Amino acid sequence: MSEPATSERIEICLHTRDLSLWYGNFQALRNVTLNVKKGLVTGLIGPSGCGKTTLLRCFNRINERYGNVTTTGEISILGKNIYDANVSLSELRKTVGMVFQRPNPLPISIYRNVLFGIRVHTRRRDLNRSQRDALVESSLREVDLWDDVKDKLRMKATRLTLEQQQKLCIARLLPLKPRVILMDEPCSALDAEGTEKIESLLETLREKYTVVIVTHNMAQARRASDECIFMLLGEVVEHGETSQVFFNPQHEKTEMYIQGRYG
């Protein structure tokens, strides 16, 4: 990759080159080439069926859970080709965490939810009680949930509000020390208040993580993302700073979508 034409080097966290994907005979992604910068919130926008979620799921290879999927091209995360033969899917999914449309806490206690990932994916099962307690508290504080649940840690997580459940799902990733967090419409099941709180959380997360978020909500994309990628029919049409994409788009198709003329 060539150096950006700026006085200060911009660090690229995630890079794709000529990425294509097929579900059986249907081509869902077409020659996607892009760079996602470290430490930003990057929004994936476009009409339903344009390939946003498929692209997001490529970044932790979760598409491979579905049968009859063929992928060509390259994806590098933090300089490492995630399709290299020596790449462990378990290690990849620790580095690249994912939050889904609908909160999916496990039907166990809040405390055990936070520790679930580290018990499954790592050898750090020998943590003593004080270490486990500190890890739970720090993870819940990072998602602004600690004050709400510190006296309810033994309560079943499914009793939380949807917004709290979504925060808990993010907190569950943090003990694994991810570098990238993928979010697939994380506010689609939330009301306006819950959406506002998750968007506020994004402000905090960008300080430590690279976040890629799929959203159909144009106002949310405008508010919450630093850069936007507009997709159409499996292709990247435009990628730039969010203000530029929304207020000075370089492509007519982008302008038409932003203005609500299709999609």
- Model confidence over 216-241: pLDDT tens digits? 999 999 999 999 999 999 999 999 99
For the domain made up of 12-105+179-258, give the CATH fold. Rossmann fold (3.40.50)
Euclidean distance between CA atoms 35 and 75, whole angstroms:
10
pLDDT score at 155: 98
Which residues sit opposite 12 in a β-bridge?
A: 37
Backbone conformation region of residue 227, classed left if phi is above 0, alpha if psi is from -120 to 50, else beta: beta
Tell me: the pLDDT tens digits for 158-175? 999 999 999 999 999 999
Residue 94 CB burial class (10 angstroms; 0-12, 13-18, ≥19): buried
Tell me: the pLDDT tens digits for 248-263? 999 999 999 998 876 5
H helix or E strand, kind and range, residue 181: strand 180-184
pLDDT at 3 > cutoff 60? no
Closest to 20 measured CA to CA, from 11, 12, 31, 10: 31
Tell me: the pLDDT tens digits for 184-196? 999 999 999 999 9
Closest to 224 measured CA to CA, from 189, 174, 183, 176: 183
How much is the pTM? 0.92
pLDDT score at 124: 56
Q: Tell me the domain boundaries of the chain.
A: 12-105+179-258
pLDDT at 8 > cutoff 70? no
